[in-house]
Amino acid sequence: MLIRPRRLRKNQKIRDLVRETTLTKNDLIMPIFVDENLKGNEKREINSMPNQYRFSVEGAIEEAKNIADLGIPAIILFGIPKYKDEIASSAYDKNGVVQRTIRGIKEELGDEILVIADCCLCEYTSHGHCGIVKNGKILNDATLPILAKIALSYAESGVDIVAPSDMMDGRVRVIRESLEENGYDDVLIMSYSAKYASSFYGPFREAAESAPKFGDRRSYQMDIGNSREALKEIALDIEEGADMILIKPALSYLDIIRLAKNNFNVPIGGYSVSGEYAMVEAASKNGWLDKDKVIYEILLSIKRAGADFIITYWAKYAAEKLL
């Protein structure tokens, strides 16, 4: 027998030498939840996401410092406002919870860390949907100007990247046009181009207080059985001005990440979502999984599928313990 693939696996040094996919801190983005109802350095643990917290504005700024010190290059902000209404007015308030956090982080850290801000309505609307609602219907075109206002308010606060996650048709175009018209042509758009109507979002909706008060999001988020549709959505977002695209969730949609990588020449990201996090944390707490090995394998698989970057609640843990 002349060909023995096992020769390349016989010890760790050889395995490390020929490994095709590697994971580094530079691949990671850490989410931060900022709660306007919290004061000082107060933080509150999220019940369904052990070791994940909502922070006050001051606490979020301090957390960003800790993340930067670990060598993680970026954070993504999600806001929980004091006030919610039908038009998400708190989302584009110049003194809103995310806007103040962006300014505080940039004043403290400058370019030491990239600040991404999720751009959506669901955390800020009284009904919990990602768009304007009329007679029980989520209106696409009426939502677009509000998304543009949110993105512009983030840009004015100093954000590096805006990340529309609403899944309204045409939102990348109106956001890009607004940014360009107001002199923010260097602000990047990371579009949640293929965001599926997944059952893995439950813990996030607790964390961000963003569960819909009626119905569900299947009329705007993607059908879980579709893959060709993802290519259409991604192509449209790139054409409209997206600089980076995101697949959400990641673990159950590795095929979509690979499809995107094979078909588009832009940075591709995967979002390892709250349900993925909660499952592993629960199983490891019960001793059913080796937590460190499983986390590393999940993140490496997302990278192997083709992701250039990964949003993950394990970013800090991985940077401290695994990388």
Residues flagged as binding site for Mg(2+): 233
Binding site residue list for 5-aminolevulinate: 205, 217, 274, 313
CA separation (Å) from 113 to 87, 117, 197? 31, 13, 31
Would you give the end-to-end CA distance of the chain in angstroms? 38
Question: Is residue 155 within 8 Å of 175, Cβ to Cβ?
Answer: no
Residues in the chain, total: 323
Binding site residue list: 120, 122, 130, 205, 217, 233, 274, 313
d(CA 165, CA 147): 10
Element (H, E) at 157: helix 144-157
* Residue 285 a catalytic site member: no
* Residue 232 a catalytic site member: no
Tell me phi and psi for residue 53, to 5 degrees.
-135, 155
How many CB atoms are located within 10 Å of the residue 62 CB?
Answer: 17
Interhelix angle 144-157/97-109, nearest 10 degrees:
30
Residue type, 260: A
Pairing of strands 161-164, 114-119: parallel
Question: Is residue 108 within 8 Å of 68, Cβ to Cβ?
Answer: no
Element (H, E) at 269: strand 268-272
Nearest to 182 by CA among 153, 219, 225: 153
Question: Is residue 56 within 8 Å of 41, Cβ to Cβ?
Answer: yes
Q: Which of 84, 106, 195, 303 is catalytic?
A: 195
Q: Which of 248, 261, 291, 293 is catalytic?
A: 248
Residues assigned a catalytic role: 195, 248
